[in-house]
Every structure is written in C-alpha cells, then in structure tokens.
Chain A
Amino acid sequence: MDYAIQQVLNALSFGAEYALLALGLAIVFSIMGLVNFAHGEIIAAGGYSMFAITSLLTGNPFVVIVGALLVAVLASVLLERVAFRPVRYADASTGLLTAFGVSMILQNLFLLLVSPRPIAITNLYFLNWPIEVAGVQISTLQVFETVTTAIAICLLVVFLKKSSFGIAMRAASLDFEMVRLMGIRANRVVAVAFAVSGLLAGLACIFIMARRGSVDPTFGFNPVLKAFVACVLGGFGSLPGAVLGGFLLGAIEVGMLVLLPQSYGGMKEAFVFGIVALILVWRPDGILSPAVEKGDKL
C-alpha cells in the first residue's frame, strides 16, 4: 500500500512537471503556431540565474526563486522579440527550425560563457525532505510540485476565462488575424503568451533544480523533450490536452519504472516513447486535438 501511494505521488509529481512545461509550449503554439524548441533553454537560463544570484548577491532561497522566475519570464519575452518576431507569420516549419537554431545558440552560449560541466546549486534542497503522512513516507518536494502545478493551472484558467486579455488570448488561438481586426495589438498578445510560458518554465525549473541540484548546458533538453511528447499526446495546441498529456506521460513513466525489470532501466525512455508512438497511431492528432477553426467559411 505504501509503495502504491508513493508511486502515485511519483507519477503526480513527474506529471506536474511535464504539465507545466507542456502548458508553456501549448500556449505559445496555440496562438502563433510556433513549436518552441528553445523552451528548454529558458529553463536552463532560470537555472543559471540561480547560480548567478547565489554567487553574486545572496543565497537566500526566496530571492533565488523569485529571481529565477523573473529571468525565465524575461528570457522568454526577449527570445520572442529577437528571434521569433521575424518568422511570426511564416509557416510552421520555418518557426520550428528557427526555434532549433535558437536552442543551439543558447546551449552553446551556456557552454562557452559558463562551463560545459554541471554547476552545483544546492540552496533549494530544503524544498525536498522526507516526511511521514499517515505512516507513509513521502517527499515534500512531490507535494509542493503537485500543489503548485494545480494552483498555477487554476490561476491560468481564471486568467483565460475572466480577464479581457485572457479572452483575447483564447480568441487569438482560434483566429489571430480576427483578433487583430478587433484592434488588439498582436505584439502584446504574443508577448503575454511568451511571458506566461516563461513563468511556467521558471516554476518547473525550480522543482527540477530542487531535485537535481545542478545545472549544465543541456539542462532543459530532456524535460522539454518530454513536454513535447506530452503536447503531442494531448493534442498539440490544446491547453487541457497539454495538462492531460503531461500527467499521462508521468503515469506511463512511473508505470515503466515499476513494471520494467531492473536490468532494463536504461531502456525506460525507449519504452516510454514507444508507448507514446502507439497512442499516436491510435489517435494521430492527439487525444484532445483542438478544432481547427477559422470561423464559418462558406
């Protein structure tokens, strides 16, 4: 029983991390059709900013966390201005390849300017300590992660449903040009989408860092790869799909950890991706693929 509860928590916390990242990807994609491969480097930027703040300013974890969130948001918005604006109205593959290029540049900049080796950042370890609840050993980090993700998702829903800007963003995911015809500034919609995306990446960064305790140039790569898979699983561009895909992927991963014999540990990824491919054979557009909507063309 203990074991089962622990594994469920494991799945939830993995799923939460993927859901945060997948949501960030999906928000940007739904509005401007961009598959942002550089999302992982936003996470890494958050990680490196923790290092910078710790070594230059203070090790106070609160400052470090807020600083990392800020840096992630700024980096995300900045990338849009510099790299993605010229290809905003280009076709999907142009945007995708641009994002690739950006990702390569950033990874190698980290390598060149900081170090190719991992850098330890240990002041977030305090988030992660074991506690006993009703006789079951669990880690606080997993609880934090799940709860924070739940809160973030709720806030996002409220923002999208209630604020006028949120409504505009939902409209933009249906028909961006029509939103501009309503006088809403395209640049602002896109900037907010990237800011939200960066904020979610920053949150994920904090939890990944609390678990891993070090950052290297390819820090964000694996998490974002998973987030992509989560997006595709849920249906690319669908926000509920991103959340669903994230948690589903978390469950599949933990399921693999539990089911696969120890000697196949290294093959976990292969099995996970294989299952995902099978799901896609069943539903090529993902589980909750969004309706392609351009109004009612006659």
Chain B
Amino acid sequence: MSLSAYISRDQRSGLVGSLLLSCLLIAVGLLVVYFGQRYQLRIVYAAYVNLLVVLGLQVFMGNANITNLSHSAFMGIGAYVAAICVTPVKIKAISLPQAPWGLNAFALDPWVSAFIAIAITALLAWLVGLIITRLSGIGATIVSLALLVIVHSIFLHRTDIFKGKQAFFGIPQVFDINSILIISVCAIFVARAFRESHWGIQLRASADDEVGARSMGVNVYRVRLIAWVLGSVFLAVAGISYAYFLGTISARPFYFTHVFLTVAMLILGGMRTVTGAVLGTLLISFGLEGVRYLETGPELLGIKLPELLGLSGIMLGVVIVVTMAFRSSGITGNTEIEQLFNRWRR
C-alpha cells in the first residue's frame, strides 16, 4: 500500500515543505557549527529557540487569526518548571532555601523534568484556553495580555520559588546546538502537520468565516483549544531549551520585549504559513544582530558613531508597521515554500 492512501495531497505537500525548511535550518546550523565562534553559536541557538516560540505562536495565532500576547509567559512557565525540577538539591539549598512544598528537596533527570514541564505548561494552557478560546478577537488579545502580566508578577513576587528579578542558577547545561537543531526540525514537521490536518483546516476555515465554519459543523472552540494547547507545548519546549542551554534564567526575558520580538518575527514572515514563521525568525534574528552592533556605537570607516540605545526596538516597530501597511499577510502570504517551488518550476 502506498503512503498516499493514508495522507491527503496537502499533507504530502506539507511533508515536502517541512523537509525543505529542515534542510535550510540544518544548513544554517552546520555552517555555524563548523565555521562559527562561540558567540555566533549562541546567536544561532537563541534564534532557534525563538523559532520554537514563533512556531508555537503560528500554530494558534496564525491558524486561528487571533492575536496572542501571552506566549512568552508560557515559555517562562516551561523554563521555570524544568529548572526547578532538574536543578541539583545542593544548589537549590543555596538558591531556594525557603521554597515551599519541598520544591528544594528533590531533583529529577533532565528528560523527566522536561516532560513534567511540558505537562504542567499544557495543563495550565488548557485551563486558560477554556476561557480564551471563547472570547472574540480583541477580548482574547486583551485577556492574553492580562495573562502575561499575571504570570510575570507571580514570577517576580514569589521569590521563594522563582527568585524574582535575580537569576535562577545552577540548571544543568544539557543541551547544545545539535539538540536544538533536532528539536526545531521536529517542531517544523509538527507545526506543518497540524496546519494541514483536519483540525488545522477547520481552524483556518473558522478564522476566515467563523459563522460559516460553525454552520458546517465545525466546533470552533474545540479546534481553537487544541491549537492553543499544542502551541503551549512548543512554548514549553522553547523555555526548556533556553534553560538547558544557558543554565540560568530570570523573569525578565519572558516579558514584553520578547513578546514584541517574536510577534514581529511572525508578522514579517507571514503568520498564515510555517514557512513564514521560519523566514521571519531567521530574517529578524540575524538582521537584529546587525542593528545591535550599530546600537553599541561602533567605529565605522573611521567614524565613531554615537551610542544608539533603542535602535533595535525602533527597527522592530518599523518592520511591523511597514509590513502591516504594505503587505499585511507578511512576506509569504498564503504560500508555503514547496508551493513557491512548484510555481517556479511551471
């Protein structure tokens, strides 16, 4: 029996697309592994973590067309839960002496910790999702924003568990660039598979015409919830990958700056497609490195430039505004990578 008996034409096309995108990711990864320095390795690693976040965003926001701003909070939850589970007891005795519920009295191996982190994040997302998926567009966005604020203030306030503004240190650094490469390739296949799945198609249909989809028997709330929880799994994995690579985390990176950064990535690339998510992430990640360099006030062609704090934020804002004004569906619009190739061939 051939494969095509089991999967649809779109899904086969999705497999091809995912393969192409994976090749791109692996190529960038190999380049930096063989030719890059430590500093560049870190940039690529960060870019791939953000790719996981943006893919997680794409799964819900892109398919359901509801702007979500809480994603960095879920990433933070994933990172902190994994960190609390995996950090050795000896270190926790120093860093979290007053932790409640015996949180500082155990340590698990990284795989179990990661699993627990994903499960807890998904569970919380499911609970929140019960509310958020029922709200209309703007209501959902504002509640997601409220969620971000709530989670952040809990991180800051419960210093006995999360250490607040200080660094949560001592997390075993078990991930390297190869791990993130494997994870992001898997993530691409999953995100694309969801997009072309029965649920993904229903969700996209409901985004275009909610009433119409409903009248065709689509349970809009349910498919939204599925996408929301699946997205949260991506975010948890991103958080875990972040913690397992750096070894220290704090509440700050899981707040507005990161929210804006990743939303800009998704918008620029085009939130309706997985290709757009990848493209946007890579363009902004590497583009911003250039801007950050300018920000520090370097010497160019013998001229000492002034320090330009805030330049990267301005660039991100400009990217969003210009994209929205001239091509609100982002660079890729509705076209996935393999469809683009097909068009060229013809």
Direct contact of A and B (CB under 8 A): yes
A residues adjacent to B (C-beta < 8 A): 35, 83, 86-87, 90, 92-94, 96-98, 100-112, 116, 217, 225, 228-229, 231-232, 236, 264, 266-267, 269-270, 273-274, 276-277, 280-281, 284-286
Partner of B131, one of A101, A104, A266, A280: A280
Is B136's CB under 8 angstroms from A284's CB? yes
Q: A87-B325, A96-B138 given as contacts; is B157 within 8 A of A104 (CB)? A: no
Asked whether any CB of chain A lies closer than 8 Å to the CB of B321, the reply is: yes
Is B65's CB under 8 angstroms from A93's CB? yes
List of A residues within 8 angstroms of B146 by Cβ: 229, 273, 276-277
Q: Tell me the bound Cα distance from A83 to B313 in angstroms.
A: 17
Is B136's CB under 8 angstroms from A270's CB? no
Q: A94-B324, A108-B314 given as contacts; is B143 within 8 A of A277 (CB)? A: yes
Known: A112-B310, A284-B134; 20 extra A-B contacts, CB below 8 A, are: A86-B326, A87-B324, A87-B325, A94-B324, A94-B328, A96-B138, A97-B263, A100-B260, A105-B317, A108-B313, A112-B308, A112-B311, A116-B310, A225-B149, A229-B142, A236-B139, A264-B157, A269-B149, A269-B153, A285-B139
Q: Tell me the bound Cα distance from A93 to B264 in angstroms.
A: 13
Is B136's CB under 8 angstroms from A105's CB? no
Give, as a whole number of angstroms, the nearest-CB distance from A252 to chain B: 13
Ordered by A's residue number, 17 sampled pairs between the chains whose C-beta atoms are within 8 Å are: A86-B324, A92-B137, A96-B138, A97-B263, A104-B317, A107-B310, A108-B314, A111-B310, A112-B308, A112-B309, A229-B146, A264-B157, A267-B153, A269-B149, A269-B150, A273-B147, A284-B139
Q: A86-B325, A96-B67, A266-B156 given as contacts; is B317 within 8 A of A101 (CB)? A: yes
Across the A-B interface, give the 4 residue pairs with the lowest CB-CB distance, nearest first.
A101-B320, A108-B313, A105-B317, A104-B317
List of A residues within 8 angstroms of B154 by Cβ: 267, 270
List of A residues within 8 angstroms of B263 by Cβ: 97, 100
Is B156's CB under 8 angstroms from A103's CB? no
Partner of A270, one of B149, B264, B321: B149
Is A103's CB under 8 angstroms from B317's CB? yes
Residue of B nearest to A115 (CB): B309
Give, as a whole number of angstroms, the nearest-CB distance from A61 to chain B: 30
Q: Which of B150-199 contact A (CB under 8 A)?
A: 150, 153-154, 156-157
Give, as a whole number of angstroms, the nearest-CB distance from B330 to chain A: 10
Q: Which of B29-86 contact A (CB under 8 A)?
A: 65-67
Main secondary structure of the interface of A (DSSP, over half): helix
List of B residues within 8 angstroms of A269 by Cβ: 149-150, 153
List of B residues within 8 angstroms of A112 by Cβ: 308-311, 314
Is A108's CB under 8 angstroms from B311's CB? yes
Is A228's CB under 8 angstroms from B142's CB? yes
Residue of B nearest to A94 (CB): B328
Is B131's CB under 8 angstroms from A93's CB? no
Main secondary structure of the interface of B (DSSP, over half): helix
Q: How many residues of B contact A (CB 8 A)?
A: 43
Asked whether any CB of chain A lies closer than 8 Å to the CB of B319, the reply is: yes
The proximity string for B residues 120-137 relative to A, scoring 1 for CB distances below 8 Å and 0 otherwise, is: 000000000001001111
List of A residues within 8 angstroms of B305 by Cβ: none
Is B309's CB under 8 angstroms from A111's CB? yes
Asked whether any CB of chain A lies closer than 8 Å to the CB of B7, the reply is: no
Q: Tell me the bound Cα distance from A169 to B324 in angstroms.
A: 26
Q: Tell me the bound Cα distance from A258 to B215 in angstroms.
A: 48
List of A residues within 8 angstroms of B153 by Cβ: 266-267, 269-270
B residues adjacent to A (C-beta < 8 A): 65-67, 131, 134-139, 141-143, 145-147, 149-150, 153-154, 156-157, 260, 263-264, 267, 308-314, 316-321, 324-326, 328
Of B310, B314, B324, most A-chain CB atoms within 10 Å: B324
Is A270's CB under 8 angstroms from B157's CB? yes
Q: Tell me the bound Cα distance from A96 to B153 in angstroms.
A: 25
List of B residues within 8 angstroms of A109 by Cβ: 310, 314
Residue of A nearest to B65 (CB): A93
Give, as a whole number of angstroms, the nearest-CB distance from B96 to chain A: 18
Q: A83-B321, A270-B154 given as contacts; is B314 within 8 A of A104 (CB)? A: yes
List of A residues within 8 angstroms of B320 by Cβ: 97-98, 100-101, 104
List of B residues within 8 angstroms of A111 by Cβ: 309-310, 313
Q: Tell me the bound Cα distance from A134 to B60 in angstroms.
A: 57
Is B138's CB under 8 angstroms from A236's CB? yes
Q: A101-B318, A104-B320 given as contacts; is B145 within 8 A of A274 (CB)? A: no
Q: Tell me the bound Cα distance from A266 to B328 in angstroms.
A: 39
Give, as a whole number of angstroms, the nearest-CB distance from B295 to chain A: 9
Q: A94-B324, A100-B263 given as contacts; is B65 within 8 A of A108 (CB)? A: no
Residue of B nearest to A106 (CB): B317
List of B residues within 8 angstroms of A217 by Cβ: 310
Q: A229-B146, A269-B150 given as contacts; is B314 within 8 A of A105 (CB)? A: yes
Give, as a whole number of angstroms, the nearest-CB distance from A63 to chain B: 29
Give, as a whole number of angstroms, the nearest-CB distance from A226 to chain B: 10
Q: Tell me the bound Cα distance from A274 to B143 in angstroms.
A: 9
Is A286's CB under 8 angstroms from B139's CB? yes
Q: Tell me the bound Cα distance from A169 to B308 in angstroms.
A: 42
Q: Tell me the bound Cα distance from A31 to B132 in angstroms.
A: 25
List of B residues within 8 angstroms of A92 by Cβ: 137-138
Give, as a whole number of angstroms, the nearest-CB distance from B317 to chain A: 3
Give, as a whole number of angstroms, the nearest-CB distance from B305 to chain A: 13
Give, as a whole number of angstroms, the nearest-CB distance from A192 to chain B: 23
List of B residues within 8 angstroms of A225 by Cβ: 145, 149
Is B67's CB under 8 angstroms from A104's CB? no
Residue of B nearest to A29 (CB): B138
List of A residues within 8 angstroms of B138 by Cβ: 35, 92, 96, 232, 236
Is B139's CB under 8 angstroms from A274's CB? no
Residue of B nearest to A93 (CB): B67
